[in-house]
Structure 1
Amino acid sequence: MSLPTVILPGYLAGANAYLEMERALGDLGFPTTTVPLKRRDWVPTLGGRSVTPILQQLDQTVKRVMQQYGSDRINLVGHSAGGWISRIYLGEKPYSVHPADKNRVCLWQAHPTVATLVTLGTPQVSRERWTLRNLDFVKNNYPGAFYPSVRYVCVAGKALYGDRKWQNWFAYSSYEMTCGTGGCWGDGITPVVAAHLEGAENLVLEGVFHSPRPGRLWYGSPQALEVWAKYLA
């Protein structure tokens, strides 16, 4: 039997945006639950502040799912920022880089319970000043595919080349803010080069965009999902 799967939404996204992904994974035989976030749950994290409120909801969901299915392990799927937040969740070092976390429990040590971590369009690096503190914590403490017991699968979309033309300007700016170069391929938000990790199984999906929109292929569309879902345990 396939392991239960937990989806962690991307930055400022609520769980409802992942219903298509949840159903598609279920149809493939993976019982799937999305962390029940609402857009307002991200407000305390704005401006590069602590993501502990998100980690707490992730931890509660994982424990509930494991109890529900009587399983000692899960698959974890993190979209966008949900990918690097998931890497914090796996870790053994206290996530205590923010003053607000001084009196909080910030030690998750979840790597023994995660069989496969799939990151979808996750910026594994960034030059944006609001995210540096969080991403530097991840990069410096858990570089690459850090835990040998976890299968890391990093998925990048190759849908839009960033350039200075008005229709591609947003992608250009986002890519430049992430990896330092705007003229490259990516999913419209995250450049391919920033979405992969050393030692991971790194995939590139042609024509796949970052976020769900009607009539547009994204990571949760069945056509794209069938590619990366093969790596789930």
Structure 2
Amino acid sequence: MKMLKNMWISSSFLRLSSHPLNKRMASAIVSSLRLRPTFSSATSPFSSSSAGDVKPRPAVILPGLGNNSGDYKKLEVTLGEYGVPAVVAAVSRLDWFRNAAGLVDPAYWRGTLRPRPVLDWYLKRIDDAVREANELAQGERLSLIGHSAGGWLARVYMEEYGNSHVSLLLTLGTPHLPPPRGQAGVVDQTRGLLYYVEEHCAKAVYTPELRYVCIAGRYIRGAPLLDNADADVDSNVTVGIEGGEAISELAVTSAAPTLRARFVGQGYKQVCGRADVWGDGVVPEVSAHLQGALNVSFDGVYHSPVGSDEETRPWYGSPVIVKDWIHHLLE
């Protein structure tokens, strides 16, 4: 299949509402075409007209599943360049093996596992980081930045420890929604944890007192294991960054999805019940948004700092992407 690589789009393109699961991308036959990049950004209705007079709130960065604190060092530095002091919760890769304690809980095998006590160790790390950030805040409130599982664990923390000191929860590629129950071929990887969060944690809001901002990535579209006769766009469409601008690769004709798209699609299916959806390579776009939150999607954004590349595979915390969501921390 031939791909057209000279269609330029803005790396800051935002979608402020999630895509319906059944929305299909139209195929396009495009002649050689180069468009000037356009830039846009989402503006909060609560933005201050004199943002320069507002001292940025400290931010607490919460690592995702399998990540360690060092993976977010560059993000911490980038935030500092915008004047946002940041504290990364102290987590090592070995710490995640603590979750194996859940295997001895019968609730794990029933699929009704609760966050506590299995994840008490992580909640304690959040609290330690929040206490450190509070010293920097000097009485002001904080921002929580949760990457991947760190986003829904932040919601558990706010439910268990209180949120009076939090004014913003910004999540990056977080699988907020539990998978559909009883669907063939779908196994809840969290063994009930996301069902608990959905049922017991506070709903997302976007108010002057507390704002939820949920950011999703559209890096690659998945595909089912078996060919979909109705597909009209190559499922291996990806969006990369070249020279500081994004490149969208559109398929000219229909073709069978690649092995990579099928593999990614099976991962998406375990999270949202569908394989043929867009996502960041790990978390589907539809799962990373919450009703009641300000939901934003970025084209060309990969899930994790591990395996990311600043030029062709930026992740949510890459400087070229941070510049398009940093305003939420400055408001």
The amino acid that maps onto 2:177 is V
**Which residue in the other structure is 2:8 paired with?**
none
1:17-55 CA-to-partner distances (Å, cap 9, x unmatched) read 111111111111111111121111111114667221101
| Shift in CA distance, 178/143, structure 1 to aligned 2, threshold 3 Å | farther
Secondary structure (helix, strand or coil) at the match of 2:326 reads helix
Alignment of 1:68-83 (within 5 A): 68-83=136-151
- 4+ aligned runs moved over 4 Å, structure 1: none
| Residue 151 of structure 2 is aligned to residue 122 of structure 1 | no
How far off its partner does 1:134 sit? 1.4
Secondary structure (helix, strand or coil) at the match of 1:10 reads coil
Provide the C-alpha distance between the structure 1 equivalents of 2:152 and 2:202, rounded to a whole number of angstroms: 11
**Which residue in the other structure is 1:227 paired with?**
324
**Which residue in the other structure is 1:45 paired with?**
99
How many residues are treated as equivalent by the alignment?
217
| Residue 215 of structure 2 is aligned to residue 155 of structure 1 | yes
Provide the C-alpha distance between the structure 2 equivalents of 1:71 and 1:129, rounded to a whole number of angstroms: 41
1:74-102 CA-to-partner distances (Å, cap 9, x unmatched) read 100000000000001111xxxxxxxxxxx
| Shift in CA distance, 125/89, structure 1 to aligned 2, threshold 3 Å | same
**Which residue in the other structure is 1:64 paired with?**
132
Provide the C-alpha distance between the structure 2 equivalents of 1:54 and 1:20, rounded to a whole number of angstroms: 22
Alignment of 1:144-223 (within 5 A): 144-145=203-204, 149-163=209-223, 164=225, 165-212=258-305, 213-215=308-310, 216-223=313-320
| Residue 238 of structure 2 is aligned to residue 141 of structure 1 | no
CA contact (8 A) 2:309 2:315 kept: no
Secondary structure (helix, strand or coil) at the match of 1:227 reads coil
Extract unaligned runs of 5+ from structure 1. Answer: 92-106
Output the TM-score relative to the length of structure 2. Answer: 0.62
How far off its partner does 1:132 sit? 3.9
Provide the C-alpha distance between the structure 1 equivalents of 2:264 and 2:93, rounded to a whole number of angstroms: 23
CA contact (8 A) 2:178 2:198 kept: no
Extract unaligned runs of 5+ from structure 2. Answer: 1-54, 180-186, 226-257
Provide the C-alpha distance between the structure 1 equivalents of 2:69 and 2:170, rounded to a whole number of angstroms: 17
**Which residue in the other structure is 1:100 paired with?**
none
**Which residue in the other structure is 1:8 paired with?**
62
How far off its partner does 1:146 sit? 5.0
The amino acid that maps onto 2:176 is Q
**Which residue in the other structure is 1:85 paired with?**
153
The amino acid that maps onto 2:63 is P
Provide the C-alpha distance between the structure 2 equivalents of 1:71 and 1:62, rounded to a whole number of angstroms: 12
Provide the C-alpha distance between the structure 2 equivalents of 1:211 and 1:11, rounded to a whole number of angstroms: 10
How far off its partner does 1:211 sit? 0.9
| Residue 87 of structure 2 is aligned to residue 33 of structure 1 | yes
Q: Percent identity?
A: 35
How far off its partner does 1:197 sit? 0.3
Provide the C-alpha distance between the structure 1 equivalents of 2:261 and 2:277, rounded to a whole number of angstroms: 11
How far off its partner does 1:161 sit? 0.4
1:120-159 CA-to-partner distances (Å, cap 9, x unmatched) read 0000123343414211111002354158532000000001
Greater shift in the superposed pair: 130-139 or 180-189: 130-139
CA contact (8 A) 1:3 1:71 kept: no
CA contact (8 A) 1:6 1:77 kept: yes
Rg larger in structure: 2
